[in-house]
Every structure is written in structure tokens, then in C-alpha cells.
Structure 1
Amino acid sequence: MTMQAQATTPAALAGVRVVEMGQLIAGPFCGKTLGDFGAEVIKIEPPGGGDPLRNWRMLKDGTSLWWQVQSRNKRSVALDLRQAQGQDIARRLIVEADVLIENFRPGTLEGWGMSPEELHRLNPGLVILRISGYGQTGPYRDLPGFGVIGEAMGGLRHLTGEPGHVPVRCGISIGDTLAALHGAFGVLAALHHRNVNGGQGQVIDVALHEAVFNCMESLIPEYSAFGTVREPAGSALPGIAPSNAYPCTDGWVLVAGNGDSIFKRLMESIGRADLAAAPDLASNAGRVARVAEIDAAIQAWTSPRTVGHVLDALATARVPAGKVYTAQDICEDPHYRARGMLLELHTRDGDTIEVPGIVPKLSATPGSIRSSAPHLGDDTDVVLREAGFSEAQIALLRDTAVVA
């Protein structure tokens, strides 16, 4: 499916103007999420190199492929915010905006004369999303913080990996992404409040570690009630059995046989009717007590079989199971394509690549990819003209390197 195939559908956030002043991951992922659903996103980048994400990981035609995902549906304005004139231009853009996204260290906006108080004086309805390592208040507010640090402080890294081994990264920038999604929810909540309660904007304060911490399930009440410190458990789901990854001859499968009736069907399908009929395994508590024995029985059945054989047998038994997918598996999977989760994107360098589709799926106002990721400053002149700058003024700003 191509991005053009979705470009004519209605947009849920049509008419919402966003100024994105963040860079790298958390702020821009939030901007990308809002842009997917129709918001107009104006991304302000520093002249010269722009957002560092442009050069991260694998490059094609000199531009990061990650950038093509993160910056679709955005317009790029190259603007030097270190200069007073650049700050004045940013304020003019923000005055006309509904939302400002920034993920600088706390105090940076204030140093540019763009404190929330000043911005709300100019634009009372403005929703300001501020994403930072530790939040805008508290004793750690001024410390530098990236997503990986938020994952550690939020409790996630301690639980990720095998018992007794070094805590591992989950493989993606999950701390930044969780903060971005919390930020997007906060923006939508604040816009709704503004629209039904008199037009007043507000500040949304998202800390990276708090976004991670918010997803830590029963971590704190278990400690509060019993003094239990949850520990890493590899691929297993602690306290819920059986749920684990099991080896096959050509890969791994995840099997979630932790429902009472599901467990019986699973045991019968692997030839262990004795375990299916055991009275003490009829409930989760009993299965947790014998989880090592159960895991060994499942592994003994999966190990000599292919992933396909295992999945077919468990689907027949109505037991939730799934292959551990690679990028190749995703791209070859018909379900991903049937759901529109792999879209063709035509880059501004003339290439065609596949990118992830849009989540969630709205029935009446689905999201769309309306434009590919911009080159640095692609839209500077157009945006400045829309803001009321004359051609002579734009030329002067270029001569003084305020814009590029």
C-alpha cells in the first residue's frame, strides 16, 4: 500500500497547528504521531546540520532511514534560535500555533525569552508540551537525561534480561517512545479541555522516567505490601504460568498457556495429558509452583519441531502462540499487509522505501502519510511568507544566517 492511497481521507486533527522544537526522539515522535492524524507540524531545526537524527543509523542518499519514518508529514524550517531574531521568528510562529512541543533541558525556553508565562501572554490558548529527563520540577530537573536513563530510573532496565546477568536494552528507544505517547495523550487532553472550557491552554510536563514508571504494572504495590522487589525473569512472565519463549529447530515461539482451560488444551496438544489432569495445576498458583517442570515439558515438545509445525498445532488447540518476528518476517507477513501496516513512501531523493503504517486505526478519520520527510529548511521560505514576512525580509534573514 502506498502513502498516496490514504492521503484523501479525512483527518482527525485537521486544523491543529503544531510547532515542534524538539530533536532526536521523544519530542519528534510525538510530533510524528500528531502529524499522522492530520495536524500541521512545523519542525524548527538548527541551520547547518539540523536534527541529529538525520544522521543516525543507516543512511540512504546521505539521510537516515529512521528520519524518513520520524519526520513524515512535517515541514522543516531552518532557524537559529541562538540569535534574537531567530527567537522572534519562533515566537511569531508559536503565536499562530495550537501546540508547542519541546524536549530541551528545563530552562532552555526561558533562556530564549519563551517561558510558558510569556508564550501564554502572547497566545492564551497554546498547549505547551515539555518533555525532559526528570521533569520541570524536583531536585533532578537540571540533570541531563536521555531515554536510556529514564528506562533505568523508571524500573524497566532492572527487569530486562536474564537473572544474574547485565541489564539489557530492549532493542529500541522505548523510554523516548513511551514519553512521546504520554505527551501525545496529554496534548489531546489539553486541546479538549481548551475547546470545551473557555479556550485556555496549559503546560504538559512529561518526564522520561515517569513515562516508563507509569507502565510498571504492580511493581510498587508488590513492594509496598510485601517488600517484594521484582527481579528479571528473561522471557518468562513472572507469577503467571506458563508463558515463555521456547526453542524450535528453526527459531523461537512464544507460548501463552496461562489460562486455566488454555493450559489443559496446551498440555493435551503436546501429549502431556497427565499434566492437563493434575489437580494442583488447574489454577495459576499451582502452575507457578511447578513452572520449571511445565516449561521443560513444553520445550521438550517444541525443540525437535519447526516453528510452523508448532504454530499449526497450537492454533488447532486454540492456544495463543506466535513466532518471534524479524524485520524480514514482518515484511513477508500477509497480515501486516492486509492491515496496511507496511506503506510505500516516496522520499524527496526519489527513492521508494517501506515504512511502518499508522496506529491506531480510526474508522471515520484514519491517519495518513501526506508528505515524506523534508530536507533541512525545505519549507523555510513558505512558512515565513505565511507568517507575513516579505521576500526582502526573508533575503535579509538568509544573509544574516538567521534562517537557512
Structure 2
Amino acid sequence: MTTSSGFIRPLDGLRIVEVSSFVASPLCGLTLAQLGAEVIRVDPVGGAADVHRWPLTDGRGEAPAGTSIYWTGLNKGKRSVTADLRSEEGRRLVQRLVADSGPGGGILVTNSGGRDWMSHARLSADRSDVITLELVGSSDGTPAVDYTVNAGLGFPALTGPDDHAGPVNHVLPAWDVICGVYAALAVTAAVRHRERTGQGSAIRLPLEDCALSVASTLGYLTEPQVNASSRTRSGNDVYGTYGTDFTTADGARFMIVALTTRHFRDLVDLTGTGDAVSALETALAADFTAESDRYTHRRVLSALFARWFETHTAEQAEQALAESSVLAQRYRTFEDVVSAGVLEANPLFAELDQPGIGRFLAAAAPATFGGHYLAVPPAEDLGASTGRI
């Protein structure tokens, strides 16, 4: 796949067959499509379980009501094929798509594993260098989704206000996203391996293991092993450094982060609290050039800084913060982001004419290659390429 300017995408020439639904597996396919691979998503006739997943168009615009904004977003740039996957004919279609797809093909991505007819062993009988990536839920292969994985990992115990007694779920399906992007990386690594050795790969990627791996790498699982305890909730405070939120005189809320000594010094200067902070440092025998002391005494520091925000409007705060090194951002809703013109101002976004939804600004892949953003065409209607393929 090439861009309109003739730029050849990194994965041009690869063909991926995707039998999937929900987030992680379709996101893997989308990522590969953005990088230039031809991705063919195969769904059962009528669509998989996610074909009508919320959010849906509400019918107030040009688009009719009921189109899944979610489904079209995750399936941009793919070719859509439907087949009766319970029939021998439909299963053979998938097997042929995987096997008969030239030197860049022979790749299957699925979260519908456990089926002999599209197992690595079965597909290897048709093509010895086949690459299969099977996403599963739990490490032991039992079903799991992002929200159940997260519940069993410990993050809901750290999320939310520090005086809250129960678990708080996250909104972003972070493990699905991480798993989907890692799956795309695993596929490209397997392609590299095949190019060097001629050998295929059977990749198994549990969603739970993606979450456990990240939690281990970031120390969440190491801490209770070596310290015999783990961290507790800290609300909107950033763990281990100085960062928290403040409210201005007109009710706007800002997130402020002072990671370095310079950031913290500028925050003290901006809020005019130098004398008070110095006195506090002496009284507490603290050293506010150290992240640990800034975090330990964050509440009393925040009480000093809060007065400045309470006596300034959002506009005044934004201007003062922009002139300092302090890391800051005003809290916004998704509607605020769109109405503020953020999308129009960022070349990551370009207009997309999506059938069933209409025209809107859609993001390309976030990395540029040679200065090129890698956007993809709109999602096809379900099954649109069945006859052609």
C-alpha cells in the first residue's frame, strides 16, 4: 500500500488474514494496515459480536442511526469478507486465504483460537512457513477480557480518591490496547524471522500476560515481593514525585506536574510561595530538591500552592503556566478537545468519509515515516470484499 504521494509503507507486500472481534485483535490488524499491510478481516455472516458495539451513530447528523462508531474505527483500511465459519466451505475459505497469498501472506491473526481448523498445525499442512498469532484471555487459556484482567491484577485498588473504600475500574481498556500493539510487533518480528530462516511461527499472546508483564516491568508486582507491601491510593497525586490537580477561581481544573527541581522551583516562583516553602522545608527537615520529599509532603505543599490557583482565573493560570517550565494541562472533556480545534491543528488528523457515519477528522498512525503520516481508507461495509476475494 502506498500513500497518495507515492511513499511506500514499511509493510507493503504483506497480507494478513484476521478472524477477530472486540479490541486487541482488530487493533493489531489496524496497526498492521496503517503500516502498509493488506489486512482481510473475516467475519461470520451478519458480523461478529462487536459489529453493533457502542458507541453508535444517533441519527441526528447525516448518518443513519445505528452504525457502530467503534467497529468502523477499528476496521479502517481493511478488506471485509464474510463467510459461514461453521461450514466446511467457510472454513476452507479462511484456510485458502491464509495459504494462497503469495510470499507476503501466510499470516493469520485471531482471538477466536482453540479451533482445530485454523490451528497452526492445520494451516502448516497447507503452508509450511505459516505465521499464526492467537490472542487468548487468561494465561491458562480460559476466557478473560480487559476489565476482568484488570480486576484481578490490582490496579482498581489504586485507582480513585484516596479515601474511597472500594475498587475503581479504569475507562480506557489499556490492556487491550497494549496487547493489540504488542501483537502487531510480534507479527512483524515473526515476518523478520521468516525472511531470515524460511520458518513460520506459532505465536500465543495472552491478554493477562501482557498486563502482568507491564505491571512487573513498572514495579507494581516487584514492590510487594521485595518490600513486603505495596503502594496505596493517592488520588490525583502522581506517585513518587510532585503532581496534583488545582482548581481556579472560575472553576477550571488543572493538572500540574513538577518532575524536576527546575519544575518545582518554577512552580514555587509562579505561586509566590518561596518564603513559605523555605520555612516549611526547614520546619520539616526536608529537602525539596528530592522527589521523595516533595511527594512525602505533597499535601502541605499543595495547600500552599492552591491559594494562587484559587485567586486566578483559568485564562490567567494558562498564560502564567505557559511562560514557565511547569508541566501543566487543563482538564478537558472529549467535546472540549473537538470544539477547541485540536484536531484541525494537528496534521495527524485528516478528513475521512466513512460510509454509514459521514465525514469527520480521523487519526492516522501516530508515528511518521520520512515525514509521512500513515492514514488508511475508511472501513468497508461488512462483507464488501467477499465477492472479490
Q: TM-score, normalised by structure 2?
A: 0.87
What's the CA shift for 1:365? Answer: 5.9
Aligned residue in 1 for 2:386: 380
Aligned residue in 1 for 2:98: 94
Counterpart among 107, 111, 128 of residue 103 in structure 1: 111
Distance 1:204 1:10 in 2: 27
Structure with more relative contact order (C-alpha pairs < 8 Å, separation 6 or more): 1
What's the CA shift for 1:331? Answer: 2.2
Deviations 1:165-185 (A, max 9, x none): 332232222221121111111
The more displaced of 301-310 and 204-213 is 301-310
Distance 2:335 2:356 in 1: 25
Aligned residue in 2 for 1:211: 210
Aligned residue in 2 for 1:261: 262
Whether the 8 Å contact between 2:252 and 2:314 is mirrored in structure 1 is yes
Output the aligned Cα RMSD. 2.3
Deviations 1:200-249 (A, max 9, x none): 12122221122222332111221121112222222111221x11122222
Deviations 1:268-288 (A, max 9, x none): 110111255446222122222
Whether the 8 Å contact between 1:340 and 1:357 is mirrored in structure 2 is no
Q: Which runs of 5+ in 1 are unaligned?
A: 384-404
The more displaced of 296-305 and 27-36 is 296-305
The more displaced of 53-62 and 373-382 is 53-62
Is 1:146 the counterpart of 2:145 in the alignment? Answer: yes
**Structure 1 residues 311-330: aligned runs within 5 Å:** 311-330=318-337
Distance 1:124 1:365 in 2: 36
Counterpart among 289, 296, 302 of residue 295 in structure 1: 302
Q: Percent identity?
A: 24
Deviations 1:23-69 (A, max 9, x none): 12111111111111111010101112445233422224231112221
Q: Secondary structure of 2:96's partner?
A: helix
Counterpart among 360, 363, 366 of residue 370 in structure 2: 363
Whether the 8 Å contact between 2:348 and 2:373 is mirrored in structure 1 is no
Aligned residue in 1 for 2:156: 157
Deviations 1:286-345 (A, max 9, x none): 222211111222222223333332222122121111122322332245564343233211
What's the CA shift for 1:10? Answer: 2.2
Residues 46/284 of structure 1: CA separation in 2 closer, same or farther (3 Å cut) = same
Whether the 8 Å contact between 1:149 and 1:209 is mirrored in structure 2 is no
Distance 1:337 1:211 in 2: 34
Q: Secondary structure of 2:238's partner?
A: coil
Distance 1:375 1:226 in 2: 54
The more displaced of 59-68 and 331-340 is 331-340
The more displaced of 288-297 and 359-368 is 359-368
Q: Secondary structure of 1:382's partner?
A: coil
Aligned residue in 1 for 2:238: 237
Distance 2:133 2:312 in 1: 51
The more displaced of 303-312 and 83-92 is 303-312
What's the CA shift for 1:6? Answer: 5.6
Distance 2:161 2:375 in 1: 40
Counterpart code for 1:74:
K
What's the CA shift for 1:157? Answer: 2.5
Residues 298/114 of structure 1: CA separation in 2 closer, same or farther (3 Å cut) = same
Whether the 8 Å contact between 1:344 and 1:353 is mirrored in structure 2 is yes
Whether the 8 Å contact between 2:366 and 2:373 is mirrored in structure 1 is no
Counterpart code for 1:25:
V
Q: TM-score, normalised by structure 1?
A: 0.84
Q: Secondary structure of 1:63's partner?
A: coil
Whether the 8 Å contact between 2:69 and 2:357 is mirrored in structure 1 is no
Whether the 8 Å contact between 1:10 and 1:365 is mirrored in structure 2 is no
Counterpart among 135, 148, 164 of residue 131 in structure 1: 135
